[in-house]
Amino acid sequence: MPLLNVDNVSFRYGEQWVLRGIDFAVEKGDFLGIIGPNGSGKTTLLRVIDGILAPQEGAVLLEGTEIGKLRREALARSVAVVPQYSALAFPFSVEEVVLMGRAPHLGRWRFEGDEDNRIARKAMEMTDTLGLAARDMESLSGGERQRVLIARALAQEPRLMLLDEPTAFLDIRHQVDFFDRIRSLNRDRGLTVIAVTHDINLAAHYCDRIILLKDGRIGAAGPVDAVITEENIRKAYETRVMVDRHPGTGSPRITLT
């Protein structure tokens, strides 16, 4: 059984259909990229997968269970989201933020115990944020904050990790650093990852499979080589591009023409 099954999902805001007949499955250990032009429904799709938005048609199944039927807490134990950073209204330390990832595992009354602290520490080690533990979130750089948010997601011990344009405000060094970390979690620990991104080259470089959305439908889906073609990109983005091979890795690479 696939880990995640998006079964013929359609979603509309009011009268306007944003997603139409989206149908795909994600196996355990996959690294799936979702790309597409602005307004193509990428973020809406991610919210539907995460159960924040309920589709009017079709269903999202997590290991066979419809996610709309799961309690938020149960869902948060299986699915973690690395969001774009947004400022906090009040100061919280890095350690406090990472420990918040343990919330779905704790009942209403329980405080974090030794086990939770151990898991949070490990998550901070894996993301090189242990040295920042006592720092205030607002005092960190963009790259550091994004690593803390990965650590928080890891502390949830999820089976599926969703990335919502996590590198949108990072420079290339931190973009690469971010995706290197995610890929090694994917390769070494079997973490299943779905990443929404604007950056076609980053997606081509790191993902195993890609879904290209256009106007709320799947324009193309499959292995990176099959999706990132001049034809597909031109149709979806209405922009002329040239696709060649990355000289080092052999993955497809787009260049504006």
Q: Answer for the pair 182, 149: CB distance below 8 angstroms, yes or no.
A: no
Applying CB under 8 A, among 92, 142, 235, 241 the residue interacting with other proteins is 92
DSSP assignment of 134-156 equals: TSBGGGS-HHHHHHHHHHHHHHT
Closest CA to 101 of 152, 176, 141, 170: 152
Work out whether 168 is an interface residue with other proteins (CB under 8 A).
Answer: no
Work out whether 256 is an interface residue with other proteins (CB under 8 A).
Answer: no
The residues in 14-53 that bind other proteins, with binding defined as CB under 8 A, are 50, 52
The residues in 181-210 that bind other proteins, with binding defined as CB under 8 A, are none
Work out whether 80 is an interface residue with other proteins (CB under 8 A).
Answer: yes
Stretch that binds other proteins, among 61-69, 83-91, 190-198, 248-256 (CB under 8 A): 83-91
Please say which residue, 73 or 125, places its beta carbon nearer to other proteins: 73
Applying CB under 8 A, among 6, 19, 22, 76 the residue interacting with other proteins is 76
Stretch that binds other proteins, among 104-112, 167-175, 188-196, 206-214 (CB under 8 A): 104-112
Stretch that binds other proteins, among 23-31, 135-143, 216-224, 233-241 (CB under 8 A): 135-143
Residue 46 to residue 198: CA distance in whole angstroms: 14
Q: Shortest approach of other proteins to residue 12 CB, angstroms? A: 16
**Max alpha carbon distance in the chain (Å)?**
59
Work out whether 226 is an interface residue with other proteins (CB under 8 A).
Answer: no
Find tokens 């990176």 and name the residue: 224
Look up residue 13 and give its DSSP letter.
E
Residue 79 to residue 68: CA distance in whole angstroms: 13
Residue 44 to residues 37, 38, 213, 216, 251, Cα–Cα distance (Å): 13, 11, 11, 9, 28
Neighbours of 91 (CB within 10 A): 10
Q: Shortest approach of other proteins to residue 195 CB, angstroms? A: 16
Work out whether 81 is an interface residue with other proteins (CB under 8 A).
Answer: yes
Applying CB under 8 A, among 19, 97, 150, 228 the residue interacting with other proteins is 97
Please say which residue, 47 or 217, places its beta carbon nearer to other proteins: 47
What lies within 8 Å, CB to CB, of 60 at 6+ separation is 4, 5, 6, 7, 9, 48, 49, 51, 66, 67, 68
Q: Give the interface size with other proteins as a residue count (CB under 8 A).
A: 38
Site for other proteins, rule CB under 8 A: 50, 52, 71-77, 79-81, 83, 86, 88-93, 95-97, 99-101, 103-104, 106, 108-109, 111-112, 134, 136, 138-139, 156
